[in-house]
Structure formats: C-alpha cells, structure tokens
Structure 1
Amino acid sequence: MLRPATDTDGAPFWEYAARGELRVQACADCHEPRFPPRPCCPHCRSFASEWRPTNGRGRVWSYVVPHPPLLPEYAAQAPYNVVVVELDDAPRIRLVGNVVGAAGAALDSVAPERIRIGARVQAVFADGLPQWVLERP
C-alpha cells in the first residue's frame, strides 16, 4: 500500500485521520477553510490557522475508474474507483479518495457502476487513511 507523503503544513491532517477524524485547515482570522493545507490564507493572507472537524459527509463531485491501473501496485484490485468528494460542511473543500464497501475494504469492493456523480458518501478510516462509503448502499 502506498502511504501519503506528509509535509509540515499537511501533517495535522494525517494525525487527525489516524485518530479517525476528518478535519480541514481553516484560517483563524477570516475562517475560510482551505485544502490542501498551506501556511498562508489565500483569501486574507493571514498566517494564523486552525484545524476544524467536519461531519465527514459529502457527495461525489467527480470520479474515474482507471483501466489499466496507473500504478502497478494497484493492478490486482483493478478496476477500482478514484473519487473527488465535496464536503457538506465545507463545500469549497474537495478530497480525493476511494469509495469502498466498508472501512479497510479492498479498493475494488464497490462495483464501478454503483458510483455516480452526486452520490452521498460518509468518511471512514482504515490505517489512518480516509476512505468513503456510500450512504445508501
């Protein structure tokens, strides 16, 4: 399994995910959420930030099904989905992940034809990685 590359700005995202929490960075001055994490607010240029919890719910904004997989490490699980999820409580934030049957399930645990733009999803976590499950399986 490939692990995420972390940097100073993004490290808290992964620390919260390891605890099963989906949080996004926000400006502590103008309160705008931002992703990916970065040191300066693109809206007001403040360097003050905080990590806000989200409810972990969203909708599939876009998705692809790689054929063949782009990375050899994933060939055994192809075809699988890669989704972009727009968060309900931070609609400017869109996160990339996979829709799976349950936390920790294989990437191919949901048939590609079940994924739809606008499908409602909920965040789940496995080994510190956020994944998504369909709210209406």
Structure 2
Amino acid sequence: MIEDFWEATRRRLLVVQRCLACGHRQHYPRLLCTACGGTELEYASVSGLGVVDSFTIVHRAPAPGFEPPYTVARVRLAEGPILLTHLVGGTDWACDLPVRVAWRPLPDGRHLPVFRPARD
C-alpha cells in the first residue's frame, strides 16, 4: 500500500488515496476510507498546490543527520488532504501562505515531497 506512494515519488509524482465509493481523498495511506469506511481505495495524483496550515522552526536537531534550523509544517493540499512535511526555500513563513511541492532526492532514487512558496 505505502509502496505505491513511494514508487510514485521516483517519478516526482505526488499522489494521495482516493475512495472509489465516495471520492474522498486522504493522506497518509490507510486500509479504510476515513469518510465512509470503504475499502476500495486507489492512488490519484494531485496538483501539489496547497497552503501552510501550521508550522514550527526546529533549532535543535533531534538526531545526527538533521541540520537545524529547518521548518516542519502541515500543508493542506488544494484537494483537501493534509501532509506533514518540510518547508524549503524561504524564511518568511506564515499560516495560509500558498505553497507548491518540490522534491528532495533520497539515496535510493525516491524523492521526499517538500514544499516551497508558490511564488518561487
């Protein structure tokens, strides 16, 4: 199930689950639709556009490999689902700021979806 999400990131394609019964879109991947309880779910691509719902700037690394400061945020996609993600490419963050998806390469060929200001 989650493998399909990560496979899509290899092509820099952002996908969320869509319920075939009611059309509800959700992220993170689950076995059931959170709106109707349906079990027939597929992955659907989304625009990658959204707004910052909430954010925090981390100044102390929780473990080696994290270079502070960095910004962690909830981004509400235009299609509805919320992603917990990193914000990159800016410093004047604010709630309701329009953002768009960007991609951070991972060593195994996948990409991590991160978000940058939409005006960039």
TM-score normalised over the length of structure 1 = 0.77
Number of aligned pairs? 115
Percent identity (aligned): 28
Deviations 1:63-95 (A, max 9, x none): 011121222321xx211111110001x22x111
Per the TM alignment, residue 16 of structure 1 is displaced from its structure 2 partner at its CA by 0.9
Question: What does residue 119 of structure 1 align with?
Answer: 97
Q: Is the 8 A contact 1:18 1:129 kept in 2?
A: no
Query: Within 5 A, what are the aligned runs for 1:64-103?
Result: 64-74=56-66, 77-88=67-78, 90-91=79-80, 93-101=81-89
Deviations 1:88-135 (A, max 9, x none): 1x22x111111222xxxxxxxx33xx1111111010113211111111
Q: Hey, which of these two has a bigger chunk of helix by percent?
A: 1
Gaps of 5+ in 1: 1-8, 102-109
Match for residue 35 of structure 1 among 27, 30, 37: 27
Q: Is the 8 A contact 1:58 1:121 kept in 2?
A: yes
Gaps of 5+ in 2: 106-110
Residue type at the aligned position of 2:10: A
Moved over 4 A (4+): none
Residue type at the aligned position of 1:83: A
Structure 1 distance, partners of 2:72, 2:34, is: 27
Match for residue 11 of structure 2 among 14, 19, 38: 19
Per the TM alignment, residue 36 of structure 1 is displaced from its structure 2 partner at its CA by 1.4
Tell me: CA distance 1:15–1:132, structure 2 relative to 1, closer, same or farther (3 Å). Answer: same
TM-score normalised over the length of structure 2 = 0.87
Question: What does residue 134 of structure 1 align with?
Answer: 117
Q: Hey, which of these two has a bigger chunk of strand by percent?
A: 2
